[in-house]
């Protein structure tokens, strides 16, 4: 059975808050409306993949590769630290402020995206401001240890985007989903000005690194960042991710 998407905002929010199973959300609301898109076609080429950025990426992947028996929480924590360092390095070249929200109910005081991004000019911190956080989220990130293309994973990230779109009455909102090896981008777009009807979009799955292993840690210790980039980095994917984090306010 399919549920029509043309509902009032309040009705849609009620349905979404009740429908907490992401696989069910995918099958009921997404599967017939999911379209593919090329992430390159919506991004500017900001060309911020420089020596400093490559060094941060190298430290990140070395930290991940040196872990033993990594679990999903370790992956999340390491990637979140990396993204925070990346945004700090971009300084005024990014409009985004990073928030770790996996332990806070940042959407309708119930749902917990792993991380959210606000614009820098939005202040947050007090209890009252935390309650209003859902009104200012401009994009969302999720981290998985497993396959980023599973229906449950896709359903979860699109679930958050759909809910935020309805709450904020946004025309479009973006997100990314990664397991540290691959990354995919998503957006939800409202079909019309007055109808609560949405389309869902998923990019191609992009590999972040070429072959890399724990054994590479010792063998690569003496090579330069440029040599390391040429050997291990999927440069196209990282340019896309960096561009995604450094777009203008019209994009977000």
Domain contains 62: yes
User: Where in the sequence is the domain holding 188, given as residue range(s)?
Assistant: 9-245
Residue 188, strand partner residues: 173, 200
- pLDDT digits 0-9 by tens, 65-103: 777 666 778 878 888 899 999 999 999 999 999 988 876
Considering the domain boundaries, does residue 137 fall inside one? yes
Minimum mean pLDDT range among 9-13, 54-58, 122-126, 132-136: 9-13
What is 174-205 written as a DSSP string? EEEEE-SSEEEEEEEEESSSSS--EEEEE---
Please tell me the predicted confidence (pLDDT) of residue 12: 55
The dihedral built from the CA positions of residue 74, 77, 83 and 88, taken in this order, carries a sign that is negative
Share of the chain above pLDDT 90, in %: 46
Identify the DSSP state of 233.
Answer: B
Residue 88 included in any domain: yes
- The verdict on residue 232 lying in a domain is yes
On average, the pLDDT of the chain sits at 83
Q: Give the pLDDT of residue 6.
A: 47
Q: Looking at the domain assignment, is residue 251 inside a domain?
A: no
Tell me the percentage of the chain whose pLDDT exceeds 70.
Answer: 79
The position carrying tokens 């409306």 is 33
In a domain, 81, yes or no: yes
Domain count, the chain: 1
Collapsed DSSP state (helix, strand, coil) of residue 54: helix
Determine, yes or no, domain membership for 229. yes
108: left (phi over 0), alpha (psi -120 to 50) or beta: left
Tell me if 1 is assigned to some domain: no
């Amino acid at each position: 059975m399919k549920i029509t998407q043309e509902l009032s905002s309040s009705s849609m929010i009620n349905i979404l808050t009740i429908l907490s199973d992401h696989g069910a959300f995918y099958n009921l609301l997404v599967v017939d409306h999911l379209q593919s898109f090329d992430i390159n076609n919506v991004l500017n080429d900001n060309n911020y993949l420089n020596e400093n950025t490559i060094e941060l990426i190298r430290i990140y992947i070395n930290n991940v590769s040196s872990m033993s028996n990594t679990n999903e929480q370790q992956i999340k924590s390491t990637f979140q630290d990396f993204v925070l360092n990346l945004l700090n390095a971009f300084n005024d070249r990014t409009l985004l402020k990073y928030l770790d929200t996996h332990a806070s109910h940042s959407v309708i005081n119930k749902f917990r995206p792993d991380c959210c991004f606000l614009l820098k000019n939005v202040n947050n911190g007090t209890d009252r401001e935390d309650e209003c956080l859902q009104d200012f989220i401009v994009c969302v990130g999720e981290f998985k240890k497993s396959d980023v293309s599973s229906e449950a994973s896709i359903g979860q990230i699109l679930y958050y985007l759909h809910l935020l779109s309805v709450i904020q009455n946004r025309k479009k909102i973006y997100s990314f989903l990664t397991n540290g090896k691959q990354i995919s981008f998503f957006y939800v777009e409202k079909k019309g000005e007055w109808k609560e009807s949405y389309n869902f979009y998923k990019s191609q799955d992009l590999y972040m690194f070429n072959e890399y292993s724990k054994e590479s840690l010792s063998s690569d210790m003496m090579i330069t960042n440029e040599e390391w980039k040429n050997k291990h980095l999927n440069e196209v994917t990282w340019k896309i991710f960096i561009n995604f984090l450094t777009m203008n306010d019209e994009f977000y």
